């Protein structure tokens, strides 16, 4: 019986669909296995290539299969979809994964280590708590606005809200004050947890020489450095800084034809966490330049003189991404560009 050179697995919680194919692409087997039987079956197969979509739990399964000696290929789901034939079901998805993984020009996702996923969980937990705090602050502002108390948005104005709630002369009913105190207690608890996680991220960034090197760039702090190490593959895997910038989605979207290049807005086809942090860091650099003045004759000074700040921030984030790639691949600290 012909053995499978590639096994595609459509991941799920409890029921997994497998598609085995030979080197020529011929179907060797199609199976449906429960979660408890999947590792035993894959471990009994000869060493081959295991293909999966880069989705939830994919990296954990990839590490298990690599420990058995198999090669693992994680395919982005957006690249699998064109290979699905007609009806969409789990069996067709597994076959499409095998077809996509066998393409010689296919791009694959690097398998994350357990340490990377640990740091990613710290980052994502902090991000979630920040969103919850913002939601709570906005809810409190909205409730108090119904009673004539209007305060600007932002966490920096929470103290003003607290002072108004505790001010006996403010025209607030007693029940409103009681509910507002619940909101303020929740905001304080969230702020405390966010501060603890930020301290943890700073400790992680301080413990690594590579992350300390990245932080020598203006606009890159410990949170951005940890995000790059947690969500990005080894930067040496990119051929150039432009490839890394394109992976982040910081390059213009192309719609060219007939030899006529047509470039649109930023593509946003990439890792959104790092992209968002780089744009925020670029905007902080621009704000400092607006207050103190950019270096005379610099690229930033010329851009700010003729372009909107947000456009300059995205262009600067693109340059930051390229510089970060050069710093990581060459082992050098940031050097300010010559004017």
Same domain, 186 and 244: no
Residue 92 confidence (pLDDT): 92
Looking at the domain assignment, is residue 336 inside a domain? no
Domain coverage including residue 13: 6-101
Looking at the domain assignment, is residue 15 inside a domain? yes
Residue 40 · residue 54 · CB < 8 Å: no
Residue 28 · residue 21 · CB < 8 Å: yes
The CATH number of the domain holding residue 96 is 3.30.420.40
Looking at the domain assignment, is residue 339 inside a domain? no
Q: Which residues pair with 303 in a beta bridge?
A: none
The domain boundary, picked from 54, 71, 101, lies at 101
Same domain, 77 and 144: no
Same domain, 66 and 138: no
Q: Please give the distance of CA 240 from its chain centroid, rounded to a whole number.
A: 20
Q: How many CB atoms are located within 10 Å of the residue 84 CB?
A: 16
Q: Which two tokens stand for residue 55?
A: 């989705």
Looking at the domain assignment, is residue 338 inside a domain? no
Residue 106 · residue 54 · CB < 8 Å: no
Q: Report, as an integer, the average pLDDT of 196-216.
A: 90
Same domain, 128 and 94: no
Looking at the domain assignment, is residue 18 inside a domain? yes
pTM: 0.85
Question: What's the domain count of the chain?
Answer: 3
Same domain, 24 and 97: yes
Looking at the domain assignment, is residue 71 inside a domain? yes
pLDDT band at 39 (very low <50, low <70, confident <90, very high): very high
Residue 339 confidence (pLDDT): 61
- What would you report as the CA-atom Rg of the chain, rounded to the nearest whole angstrom? 25
pLDDT band at 325 (very low <50, low <70, confident <90, very high): very high
Looking at the domain assignment, is residue 42 inside a domain? yes
Residue 118 · residue 98 · CB < 8 Å: no
Same domain, 182 and 89: no
The CA-atom distances, in angstroms, between 284 and each of 18, 265, 272, 281, 313 are 49, 22, 18, 5, 9
Same domain, 196 and 276: no
Same domain, 140 and 60: no
Same domain, 95 and 26: yes
Looking at the domain assignment, is residue 248 inside a domain? yes
The rounded percent of the chain whose pLDDT value lies above 70 is 99
């Amino acid at each position: 019986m012909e053995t499978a050179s590639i096994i595609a697995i459509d991941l799920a919680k409890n029921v997994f669909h497998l598609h085995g194919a030979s080197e020529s692409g011929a179907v060797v087997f199609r199976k449906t296995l429960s979660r408890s039987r999947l590792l035993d079956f894959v471990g009994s197969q000869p060493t081959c290539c295991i293909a999966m979509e880069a989705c939830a739990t994919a990296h954990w399964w990839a590490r298990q299969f690599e420990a058995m000696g198999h090669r693992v290929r994680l395919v982005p789901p957006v690249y699998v979809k064109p290979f699905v034939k007609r009806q969409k079901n789990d069996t067709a998805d597994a076959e499409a994964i095998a077809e996509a993984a066998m393409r010689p020009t296919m791009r694959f996702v690097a398998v994350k280590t357990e340490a990377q996923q640990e740091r990613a969980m710290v980052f994502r937990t902090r991000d979630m708590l920040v969103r919850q705090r913002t939601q709570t602050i906005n809810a409190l502002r909205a409730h108090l606005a119904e009673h004539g108390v209007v305060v600007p948005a932002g966490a920096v104005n929470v103290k003003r809200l607290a002072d108004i709630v505790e001010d006996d002369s403010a025209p607030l009913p007693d029940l409103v004050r009681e509910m507002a105190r619940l909101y303020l207690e929740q905001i304080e608890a969230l702020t405390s947890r966010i501060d603890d996680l930020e301290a943890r991220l700073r400790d992680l960034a301080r413990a690594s020489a590579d992350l300390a090197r990245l932080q020598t760039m203006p606009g890159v702090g410990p949170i951005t450095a940890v995000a790059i190490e947690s969500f990005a593959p080894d930067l040496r895997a990119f051929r150039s800084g432009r490839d890394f910038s394109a992976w982040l989605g910081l390059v213009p979207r192309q719609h060219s034809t007939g030899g006529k290049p047509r470039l649109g807005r930023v593509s946003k086809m990439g890792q959104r966490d790092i992209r968002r942090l780089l744009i925020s860091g670029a905007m902080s650099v621009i704000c400092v330049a607006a207050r103190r003045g950019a270096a005379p004759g610099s690229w930033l000074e010329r851009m700010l003189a003729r372009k909107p700040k947000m456009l300059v921030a995205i262009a600067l984030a693109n340059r930051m991404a390229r510089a970060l790639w050069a710093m990581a691949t060459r082992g050098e600290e940031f050097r300010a560009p010559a004017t």
